[in-house]
Structure 1
Amino acid sequence: MYPLGVGGIRDIVPGMSTEAANAGRLRARALFRRWPTVAGLAFAAGYVFRITTGLEPAPILVAALVIYLGTAALGRPGAAWPLFFAAAAVIVLTRAALPGVQPSWVLFALGVPLLGYGLARRAFRPLWGLPLQTLLFAVVGGLAAIGPLLGAETGGLLIAAGLLAHAALDVHLLRTGRLVPRSMAEFCVVLDTALAVAITAVVAPN
C-alpha cells in the first residue's frame, strides 16, 4: 500500500520544505542586492505625488550635482552617501526655517566651497572627476537653480532634461564603478528617471 514506505514519505516532505526555504532565501538575497533600486523608487514616490508644476524636484537635481561634485573634490567615493544625507537635511531645514528661500539656491551655494576645496587640492585628474562634475554643476545645476524663475513649463522641462542627463551619467558610473559607489549610481538612475518621467507627464499636456 505504501511503496515508498512511511519513512520515504517523511523524507520527501522535509526535502520539499527545504527547497522552498532555499528559494525564499534566494529571493530575499536578490531583493537585498537591489536595495538601491527599491530605495530610489521609494524616495521618488515621496515627490511624484506632490508634483503639480514640474518645479518641485529641482532641489533633488541640484543635490545630486553637489553630491557628485563634493565626492570628486574630496577624492573619496565613500563620501557620496554622507553627502546625500547632508543634502537631504539641507532641503528639509531650508523649507522649514526659510519658507521663502529655494533649497536649490542654498545647495548651489554650498557646492561652491566644495569646488574650492577640490581646486585647492588640485584634483584636476581624472577628467571625469572634478573637471566634468564642475561643468555639470555650473551648467545643469545653474539651470536647475533658476528653473523656478522661468515658469512652470520651461523650468519643469529644463529640470526633467537635467535629471535625464544625470541618469545617463549614472548609468555610465554604474557600469564603470567610477566616482561614486555603485549603490549610489543605481539609486540615482532610478530616482532621476522616475522624477523626469513624472515631470514630463505633468508639464507636457500643458
Structure 2
Amino acid sequence: MTRSASVPGTVTDPVGATDPTRPAVWRRVTSVTVRRWPTWLALAVAAISLGDLGDGTELAFVLVLAATGYLFVAVVDRVPATWPVLLGLVAMVVVLRLLDLDPVPALTVVAAALIAVGMIGGRLRGPGLYGLQTPAALGFIALGLAALLVPAAIGHYVVAAGLLGHAAWDAVHWRANKIVARSFSEWCGVWDLILGLGILILVP
C-alpha cells in the first residue's frame, strides 16, 4: 500500500481541532466591549431619563449642566477632575430638586462665576478649545433658558436642538482628546444624542 507523503510546509487540520484564532477574536470583542463602557452607561442613563419623559422641557437643565461641567474642567485645567466635577454638579442638582428648587438658576450662577474666573485668570482666553468654551457655554445656557421661557410646544424642539448640538460639541472634544476626559466626552455625546432624538420622537 502506498503512503501519501505530506507536503512540506502544510499544517494538518484534524477534525475537531480548536481554531487557534478563536480566543483572539473573543479577546478582541471583549476588549472593545469593555472600552466602550461610557457608551453602555450613556444608553442606560438615557433609557432612565426617557422612561419618565414629560414635555421635554424638563431636560433643559442638561444643557446648563453640561456647559457648566465643561467650563469647570477647563478653568481648573485638570482632565482627571472631569468625573468628580460631574458627580459634584449632579449631587447639587439632586439636592436642589429635593428642596423643590429649579437647578437651572444655580447652575447658571456657577457657570457665570467660572467664566469670570477663567477670563480673569486667562485660562478661557487660551487658544483652540479653551478659547471656545465661553461662547459655547453661553450658547447652550441660552438655549436651556430659552426652552423654559417659550411655550412647551416650541420649548421641546429647542431642548432637542441644544442636545444634538452639544452631542456634536462632545464629538469635537472626543476627537481632540482635550479639556475633558475622553470617556466623559463619549458618555456625554451618546447621552445627549439619545436624549435629543428621544424628545423629537416621543414628545408629540
Verify same fold: TM over 0.5: yes
Report the secondary structure of 2:57's partner residue: coil
**TM-superposition CA deviations, 1:26-57 (whole Å, max 9, x none):** 32221110011011111111211111201122
Aligned partner letter, 1:105: P
Partner of 2:90: 88
- Report what 1:5 is aligned to: none
Unaligned runs of 5+ in 1: 1-10
Instruction: Find the counterpart in structure 1 of residue 8 from structure 2.
Output: none
Verify the 8 A CA contact 1:53 1:202 in the aligned structure 2.
no
| Paired residues, number | 190
TM-score (norm 2): 0.83
Per the TM alignment, residue 12 of structure 1 is displaced from its structure 2 partner at its CA by 8.4
| In structure 2, C-alpha distance between the alignment counterparts of 1:92 and 1:146, rounded to whole Å | 22
Per-residue deviation, 1:164: 0.9
CA drift at 1:125: 0.6
The answer to whether the 8 A contact 1:173-1:182 is kept is: yes
Runs of 4+ in 1 over 6 A off after TM superposition: none
| C-alpha RMSD over aligned residues | 2.1
CA distance in 2, matches of 1:93, 1:146: 24
In the alignment, the residues of structure 2 paired with residue 32 and residue 187 of structure 1 have an alpha-carbon distance, to the nearest angstrom, of 13
Q: Is the 8 A contact 2:65 2:89 kept in 1?
A: yes
Deviation at 1:22, TM superposition (A): 5.0
User: 1:30 — aligned with what?
Assistant: 32
Q: CA deviation at 1:24?
A: 3.8
Which residue of structure 1 aligns with residue 3 of structure 2? none
List gaps (5 residues or longer) in structure 2.
1-13
- Based on CA coordinates, which of the two structures has the bigger radius of gyration? 2
Mark the CA change 1:192 to 1:122 in structure 2 (over 3 Å): closer, same or farther. Answer: same
Return the TM-score normalized by structure 1.
0.83
Match of 1:150 in 2: 150
Tell me if structure 1 keeps the 8 A contact 2:146–2:158: no
1:126 counterpart residue number: 127
Q: Measure, in 2, the Cα distance between the counterparts of 1:191 and 1:18.
A: 39
Query: In structure 1, what residue type is equivalent to 2:18?
Result: M
Distance 2:150 2:202 in 1: 16
